[in-house]
Amino acid sequence: MTWGPKVRQLEETELKTGKPIKALDSRPEILPGLGPIWVAFQTLSAGRSIGVGMVAMPCPITFQDIDAYARRYGPEDPDDFERFLRLIRALDSCFMAHAVKPGGGK
């Protein structure tokens, strides 16, 4: 299962029914302190361009988009920005690797 907007719906269903939903057991955990990075990645990912061609594919998140996000929301310190940039690019690299697989992103 690809994790995304369905998670909230599954969690709500689990709460309403009181029955555990097996799919939620395999959901990855965000390490403490990395929640803001995950939120930033989700925000940036939602605004990514889609390349056109034989098959429409998502494009990597641009440096300009990452920089604009950081200017608005932080981090402001240059060293913190470099760490932020590396983490967002690492997440994006994993996303892109999954997206280019046959049937990826579904």
Q: Which residues contact 16 (CB under 8 A, 6 or more apart)?
A: none
Q: How many CB atoms lie within 10 A of CB 93?
A: 11
pTM over 0.75: no
pLDDT tens string for the chain (106 positions)? 355 667 778 888 888 998 888 878 777 778 888 889 999 999 999 999 888 777 788 999 999 999 999 999 999 999 999 999 999 999 999 999 988 766 555 4
User: In the chain, where are the structural domains located?
Assistant: 1-30, 33-106
